Every structure is written in structure tokens, then in C-alpha cells.
Amino acid sequence: MKVVIIDDHPLVRKGLKSILSLDESMEILGEASKSNEAVALLISKKPDLALVDLRLGNGSGLDLITEAKRQGITCKFVVLTSSTDELDFKHAKEIGVDGYILKEALPEELIHALQIIRRGRKYYDPGVYDFVMNSRESHQDDGQIEQLTPKEKEVLLELGKGLSNKEIAKRLYITEYTVKKHVSQVLAKLGLADRTQAALYANVKGLVRYVVS
């Protein structure tokens, strides 16, 4: 996977290059520190994925992504941030970023996230769970998981892995229609707004275990 790094801190860019070098399938095509440089880089290098800092000096990584998409750039965009601001996360989701990762993530977590995104799925750092869920009027209780049927728990687990309804249906040997019904029940019983929150919930509650190769 061909990657570019867009961050205004030289040390961060160097650190990211070192981390990504641990995965032989990743190729760093270039880096940029400012929005105008970044757009030119994206146009010239045509990467598969761009790692973009949420804050670019006086600019915004989200504005950069919006402008890049307006210009027809079709690579995957992953936001890297130290922010735990709910509005930042919601804005990132609204403009269709493929990943949202906190800078406190461990190297193996970052590589794992990019592996998921490379396979066409979205990845939102479980660390955003608290400020997303705290925006709701009520908090979820661990006992609510016990309200789920065994099959609903299986569906929740697969949601936590970022699988689509079609992929879940294939893995659990049930129809897509049945998966949709189970997803609706999971959301209703846990008081969650959408499958993104369900995925975050599954990860934060420790239901999902990954092996990073």
C-alpha cells in the first residue's frame, strides 16, 4: 500500500515513517507539512492512503481532506489526532474519512488499523468511545450485554471487527436479512445510535481480540 504522511511536526513524520517501515507491504511515497503542499503531493504521487494530522499549523486536516475530495482525489484518508473533541470526530465521519486514530495508539495498533482500512473497512480508534458515548444522555452498563441473545452477541463481535452485513452473514452462516434484524436488536438493547457506536462498544468492552501479524 502506497502511503503519504501529512503532518506539520518533523519528529511525528519521522516516527510514523519508522512505524510504517515495520510493515513490508507499506511504501512511503512522500510527506508534507502544509495543506497546499499536501494537495500537490496527493495529485502527483496518487497514493492509496494519506495519513493526515487533524491540526496542520493554522489549518485543519479535515478541511484539507474536503478540498482533496473536491478535486477528485480518491485515496483513503486516515486522521491522526490527539483531540478527544466530539465535534472533531463527528465532522471527520461526516466527510467520510476511512480512519480516525489517536496519536497515543501503540505502533502495532496503528499498523493493525491500516491493515483493516486497506481491506476496505473503516477504523475508528476505540479511544474515541468515551467522548462519543458520553455525548448521549445515558451511559451504557455492562449488564446490558447480558440482554443480548447468543447470536446477537456474535453479531456485535463481528461489528467490532468492522465487518459488513454481507461479511457477517457469510461468517455466521445466516442471511443478510437476519443480520440486519440482529443489528437492529443490538442497537436497541444497548441504546446505541448506529453500527459505528456498536463497533466502538465491542472494542472498548474487550469483546474483540486481534492478532497483529
- Tell me what pLDDT residue 127 has: 74
Same domain, 120 and 144: no
> End of a domain among 70, 98, 132?
132
- The enclosing domain of 165 has a CATH number of 1.10.10.10
**pLDDT (tens digit, 9 = 90+) per residue, 52-106?**
999 988 889 999 999 999 999 999 999 999 877 778 888 898 899 999 999 888 9
Same domain, 73 and 107: yes
- Tell me what pLDDT residue 44 has: 95
Measured over the CA atoms of residue 130, residue 133, residue 134 and residue 135, the dihedral's sign is positive
Same domain, 123 and 175: no
pLDDT band at 146 (very low <50, low <70, confident <90, very high): confident
Same domain, 128 and 141: no
Residue 137 has pLDDT above 50, yes or no: no
Beta-bridge mates of residue 157: none
Does any domain span residue 165? yes
pTM of the model: 0.67
Same domain, 21 and 85: yes
* Domain enclosing residue 112, as ranges: 2-132
> End of a domain among 75, 108, 132?
132
- Give me the percent of the chain exceeding a pLDDT of 90: 57
- The dihedrals phi and psi of 51, each to the nearest 5 degrees, come to -90, 120
Does any domain span residue 102? yes
Residue with cell 449488564: 143
- The enclosing domain of 106 has a CATH number of 3.40.50.2300
For residues 138 and 171, the model is more confident at 171
**CA-based nearest residue to 9, from 49, 61, 70:** 61
Q: Which CA distances in Å does 212 have to 78, 154, 205?
A: 19, 21, 19
Residue 125: exposed, middle, or buried by beta-carbon count in 10 A (0-12, 13-18, 19+)?
buried
Does any domain span residue 197? yes
Measured over the CA atoms of residue 42, residue 45, residue 50 and residue 55, the dihedral's sign is negative
Does any domain span residue 211? no
Contact of 194 with 205, CB cutoff 8 Å: no
Contact of 163 with 183, CB cutoff 8 Å: no
Same domain, 73 and 13: yes
3-state secondary structure of 29: strand
**pLDDT (tens digit, 9 = 90+) per residue, 42-52?**
999 999 999 99
Distance CA 89, CA 161 (A): 19
CA gyration radius for the chain? 18
Same domain, 107 and 47: yes
Does any domain span residue 210? no
Same domain, 115 and 159: no
Same domain, 15 and 114: yes
Which DSSP string corresponds to 34-70? SHHHHHHHHHHH--SEEEEESEETTEEHHHHHHHHHH
Total structural domains within the chain? 2
